[in-house]
Structure formats: C-alpha cells, structure tokens
Structure 1
Amino acid sequence: MDNNNETYLNHPTFGLLFKVCPIEDNRELYTTLYAQRLFFFVTHNRDNLSFEPIKRSDARLVVENRLRQLRRIGADIDYKNLQAVYKRTFQ
C-alpha cells in the first residue's frame, strides 16, 4: 500500500470511502472517509462492485491479520504504511 496512491470509491449511500487495504484478489477493505466508523468489504469484478458492511471490531481484526501477513512475507514498506493507517483508524 502506497500512501501516495490512495484509493477512493463513491458509495451510493455513505459517500466517499477510503481504501484501508487489500484483503484478497478482487476484495478490499474500505472505510468512510471522514468519520472512519463504517467499514465495508468491497468486492469487484468486470461488471460491478458490491459493498458488504462489517463491524468496526471485525475490520480491526482483518487489518491486524493483514499486518501479520505483510510482516511474515517481509513487505516492509507495505507493513509500515498499513501500520500508520491502522493507528490513525483504530487507536
């Protein structure tokens, strides 16, 4: 995840969403841009996007798991960037 390459989506109801991190192929975690209280799994394919709301506590676990995965594979830059997002969002 590169801080200079932030990704945003427009949710039909909740407005601008900020990409927190990728989860798996074609699936990413997003949060509302300003309050960072609502979280969504966003799944995308050729034809559409789908938004699946998740609880804040579940989103936190997802990011913690992603941090562990990045540390395990030695992706230091991605790890540091996601750690900064984690601190801003959950602490």
Structure 2
Amino acid sequence: MELSTLQAYEDAIVTIMRRLPGERQRELFDFAQFLESRTTDKAKSSEHDAKWEQLLAKPESSQVLENMVREAREEYRTGHITAITITDDGRLSPA
C-alpha cells in the first residue's frame, strides 16, 4: 500500500484499528503512545543539549564549571554528600 499523505496514513491506521480485537487495539494504542513519547523526549533532549551548548560556549563558562567542581570536591571531602541510587523507573533517589 502506497500512502502519500498524512490523511492517508490516518485513514489506514483507523481502518486497521477497527479490524483488530480489543486487546490488539490497546497494544496499538500503547505503541503509538510509546512512539509519541520517544519523539517528545528526543525533542526535549535536543533542546536541553542546545541550551548546554549555548551555556558552555560563553567565555565565563569555564570559570563557572571550575567553581562547581571545586564546590563538589569540598562537599565530598567534608562528607556533605548524599549517596544516590537509580530507581527501576530510571529516576535518581537517595540511597
């Protein structure tokens, strides 16, 4: 099947969805949501990366980063840190 327009894709997906049993419809919907979230996540990630690139391109960025490193080392040296772990859903959490 050759689809050339967005409307043609939408119509084809709706036709397929209507022919599927209920459980398969839910699976197709879940998959569509998965694809949508990956697209959204990639866009957010690209936007975030671009902001970091802009920040790091500034002349004062090296001094800011050096200060951050110095502060982090001091906190580590004095024991003012909190151990963290990664949860099953990929989030950071105190250990």
Q: TM-score, normalised by structure 2?
A: 0.28
Considering fraction of residues, name the structure with more helix. Answer: 2
Relative contact order (C-alpha < 8 Å, sep 6+): which is higher? 1
Considering fraction of residues, name the structure with more strand. Answer: 1
Q: TM-score, normalised by structure 1?
A: 0.30
Which of these two proteins has the greater Rg computed from alpha carbons? 2
